[in-house]
Structure 1
Amino acid sequence: MANFIKNVNMRSIRRILTPVFFIINILLSAYAFADQLTASVDRDTISIQDTFTLTVSADSRVSSKPDFSSLQHDFEILSNNESQYTSISNNGTEFKKIWQLTLAPKREGSLLIPSFTVDKTVSDAIEIKVTKQSQTSPSGDDPVRVAMELSKNTVYVQEQIHLKIQIVSKVNLSQTQMQPLELKNAIVIPLEDKPKQFISVINGRQHLIEEQNFAIFPQESGELVIPSLIYSVVPSAERDLWNDPFGRSRSNVLRLPTEEQRITVKPVPTEAAGKSWLPANNLSINETWSASLDRLKMGEPVTRTITISADGLTGGQIPPLATAATDGLTFYPDQPQNTDKKTTKGIEGTRVETTAIIPNHGGEFTLPEVKLEWWDVNEQVMKTASLPAKTINVIGDAKSDASLAPSAPANQAQVTSEPDVTVVGTEKLNPWLLAGSIIFGVLSLILGVYALSLRSRLKVLENRVDDAHEIISEKEKHIWDLLKHAAANKDAPALRKNVLSWARFQWPDASIHALDDVAKLGGKIELTQALKKLDELLYSNHPSDDWQPNQLLQLLNECRKERNVKKKSEGLKPLYTD
């Protein structure tokens, strides 16, 4: 009886403890796997055009996920899929969260997949060896191939190179992506916002062409290397609705490498040493005027617009034209405008310089010839583009007319002698005295008429000078109002522009292109410091919010008042009034 009771108790204890041990085993196995983060690849040796799969797994209850952004330095991430599953075995229950990434190498050599961290657990780094691309050249039988074409293999520094890359496909493509073209010692400008596609017939069969064009400007002499670029393309195919219901599979991705290109970049030739270096296919200079140059009026502005066009240069490469001062003319240059026109052959740059010219007095003025030297890349010689000298005729401030002289009579009348007549009580009239009186009267009349004419002309000239002063004064007032408005709004770029425009009225004979020129002409330490503060504000990456332009405005206003005082002391009409 005692043995029976003992056996019953043992069976009861086993029934109670068995599920308890089972639960404990599950919990212990779960915690055993919780601290594991593993990373693996399906292949660790590949060629540059191959892809491979990276698998990272962790416990499904992790609160974060790996950061894969560090992979983008050496690899292109073609896909990133996340999944999770639960597995029960004799060793316990395993909960897993898995990330599978399809990767493609960006370069050859020994690459490293870095360690990843999830909830303080760290995976191991993995080394990937990437070999050169297959030496088998693409043939016309390939369904998809890539081609690269360079306009030149030898150029001068800063000369344009045209690069064309094409995908030629016999099948439709659902997706294409090219590795970015980046060069260390050259400027690369895409000539299209996106690749263009068109159909071309090759060997009697239609082919889909996707084309990208680039303009490359090498900045240093030596050898410029365009590395092999990888084109990832996905041919169109029917979707496997069972294995890939959402169309995310990237197993049909083709990676097509281009061939490496090497370009010889020569330094500036000796013929161009010390001159402006502008290597171009063609360069021209044209000009337009806002009015005819034959009968300009004193004090009225005329606008000259010069356009420089260069095939093979950007607008930023074209330098400003040299300008020479001309006595009697005041120049007010506007901000130059640079534009670039992109074509399938390259860049066509344009620089437009606009200048307002105000004649200070009448007469004939000659503007000197405008020249710009450039290098013809086709003929390999220096050339000069030019505008001929221009003559301007200004009405006003006329010179004095030549004095009028009495003309002699055409025929001299014969004088006949007559007998003297004696008059009682009178003296004989002297003929020389009579002739002198007549001549004196005629000269007095002529001088009187000339004096009246001269006075009238001087009055007209004075009125024209006053009109010219009023025109300049009105323009100065308008610019001063714009300057004050920019200061009130704390608009630093507009304030700088209007300060320069106003200064050209304040000091018309000076050459003013920067705020430093205004500071030197102002001759005040406070003004120099205020203008320097404005420049620092414009070019600083951390502009100050507490900038107050009122002091600068007061200092500039003092310069205006001093200018008026100087004009009055010289007996001239003030240029402007407050």
Structure 2
Amino acid sequence: MIPTYYSTIRILLAALFYLASTVTLADTLTASVDRNQLGKGETLELLLQFDGQTTSDPDFAPLNGDFEVLSRQKKNKFSLMNGSSTSYTEWRLQLLPKRTGKLQIPSLSFKGVVSTPITLQVEDLPQSRTSTTTINQPVFVETDVDKSSAYVQEQLLITFRINASTNLQSISSEELIVKDASVMKVSENQYQKQINGINHLVIELQYAVFPESSGNLTIPAIRFNTVIPDRRDPYSSSFFSRGGKRLFLYSEEKKITIKPRPTSYGSAEWLPTTAVSLSERWSRPLAELVAGEPITRTIYLSAQGLSSAQLPPLDINSGDGFKVYPDQPQLNDDVSSNGVMGTREESIAIVPSRGGSITLPPITVQWWDTASNQMLETVLEGKTLTIKPAENTISAPVSTTEIPSTAETLLAEKQQPSLVFWLLIISNVLLLGTAIIFLVLWRAGRNKALTGPAPSEESPERKEATLFKQLQQQAKKKDPRAFREGLLVWASVRWQHSLVTLDDIAVIAKDPLLTAELQTLDRALYSPEASTMIDLGSLLNHLKNIRKQSTLEKPSKGNHLQPLYTES
């Protein structure tokens, strides 16, 4: 009896110790990172593990102070081995540090347990092109400014170059915003370049910046987001993989000294530039000018490195013997790798009020040459025009005939009504005939319009076939960028929807294999081996099969392309 009692006590105590140890094991929250030292713009992975099954999540808000949480994954795991079971929940977070220096991942609490804080060191890696460390990176950014000082409102050219020795699965950037300055994107180019004997794809972005005040101007560092193949994942560069390593790059901050407008320039409109031109065009030859008849004079004012909004209106007024009637000016900005070329186009109607000579005064534009640091003037020379008098102002010659007699006058007045009468009859007949011809032609045109479109109007089927032939020609040239543009045009006609991206085609086609090939085409546009990475012939054959399997969608009434996504 007694041994049985003690045996029962021992069993109960063992069960209690087991339950206590189980609770103790469940009440743990462990935090770890894949690395403790990293550079600016690099990410790290935080692994948080809770020894138990749960459907809720810890509070990750404490991380927002020094980190940007890019992604978060949660997994519940359970395993049974050698008769013992293990279950736990883990969270994997991809973090991007917001600053450099010594950072700390704070303690996180969950269900009454707390994780241990983790200390990190984030280095401010140099972005200079002369840095061997930077050049050896698979992707790095260069930042160039065309001058270290400039005048207020003078154009500055900022160039960002993303150099990649590996394939870029995607790339995007923040918007360039410069305090106390206006910004205009002027060019975007891609080309190949060898750096230290290694082939690199270079993506070049160029901006024109116009300072609005003197002093120190700061061009801030901007962030570029990209995805590159992950060396730890052998399938990350596969066509069917959406994975890869996210990489964040930062451009170099630049400071430029902005000089004020020189006091010697005077009160004229401030135009800091390297070249100004004035030209003109007339609506007809100047040898055919007649008093009272208008002629249009169009004057073009252009300046390199200035926007059209910076160009002043021209001073054109009426003068002796003529009136001017100006039209609304036309403003145009042409952008290139040299920056902005602004043009102001002014059209003026000139109406001579008399015959003889009239003089148009010269037009002068004052500007500041930033290359030589001096004030210059561009002049459109004045003109003297010869105006013919109007025909109705020519004086009638004095008659030398004799004054008719009274009898002759009476006879003429008697015969005149008969002549006028016949002239009236003839003119009325001509007017009636003209009205009949006009009515017949109008009815014929109206009937033609009601019978439908003209035979020469191209049907949707013929237009789709023509565009597909052009697509076949672009595939033979092996130019992925031109093929992509032609594909979007053809697909918009094929499905009668406004399609602007390859993802739009994938959504409407509903073909998994086509979707994979379209994703490959998009990736090829950012690859150094763009022409060899994608087989345009294979993609074209897939499109041919789709054409055979489905019929061309009929356009809606009005022949307008419908949007792919409609608002609910």
Scaled by the length of structure 2, what TM-score is found? 0.53
Alignment of 1:25-424 (within 5 A): 47-53=39-45, 61=55, 79-85=70-76, 98=91, 100-105=93-98, 107-108=99-100, 132-133=124-125, 138-139=131-132, 142-144=136-138, 145-192=140-187, 195-202=188-195, 206-236=199-229, 240=233, 247-251=241-245, 253-392=246-385, 393-396=387-390
The one-letter code sitting in structure 2 at the alignment partner of 1:191 is V
Change (3 A) 1:97 1:352: farther
Change (3 A) 1:169 1:402: same
Change (3 A) 1:80 1:270: same
CA shift for structure 1 position 250: 4.7
Change (3 A) 1:146 1:102: same
The separation in 2 between residues aligned to 1:376 and 1:313, in whole angstroms, is: 12
CA shift for structure 1 position 290: 0.3
8 Å CA contact retained: 1:149, 1:164: yes
8 Å CA contact retained: 2:230, 2:236: no
Question: What SS does the corresponding residue of 1:297 show, helix, strand or coil?
Answer: coil
Q: Which moved more, 1:274-283 or 1:134-143?
A: 134-143
Larger Rg belongs to? 1
CA shift for structure 1 position 231: 4.2
CA shift for structure 1 position 100: 2.5
The separation in 1 between residues aligned to 2:208 and 2:236, in whole angstroms, is: 44
Question: What SS does the corresponding residue of 2:169 show, helix, strand or coil?
Answer: strand
Change (3 A) 1:114 1:242: same
CA shift for structure 1 position 351: 1.1
8 Å CA contact retained: 2:305, 2:340: yes
Question: What SS does the corresponding residue of 1:342 show, helix, strand or coil?
Answer: strand
Counterpart for residue 575 of structure 1: none
CA shift for structure 1 position 330: 3.6
The separation in 1 between residues aligned to 2:236 and 2:279, in whole angstroms, is: 67
The separation in 2 between residues aligned to 1:444 and 1:114, in whole angstroms, is: 122
The separation in 1 between residues aligned to 2:118 and 2:347, in whole angstroms, is: 62
CA shift for structure 1 position 158: 0.9
Map Cα deviations across residues 183-218 of structure 1 (whole Å, 9 max, x no partner).
Answer: 1122222223xx422112456654332222121111
The one-letter code sitting in structure 1 at the alignment partner of 2:42 is D
Q: Which moved more, 1:324-333 or 1:334-343?
A: 324-333
8 Å CA contact retained: 2:236, 2:242: no
Change (3 A) 1:110 1:358: farther
8 Å CA contact retained: 2:327, 2:346: yes
Scaled by the length of structure 1, what TM-score is found? 0.52
The separation in 1 between residues aligned to 2:36 and 2:231, in whole angstroms, is: 31
The separation in 1 between residues aligned to 2:152 and 2:142, in whole angstroms, is: 26
The separation in 2 between residues aligned to 1:181 and 1:80, in whole angstroms, is: 25
CA shift for structure 1 position 67: 10
5+ residue gaps, structure 1, are 405-441, 446-578
Structure 1 vs Structure 2 CA RMSD: 5.3
Question: How many residues matched?
Answer: 383
5+ residue gaps, structure 2, are 404-568
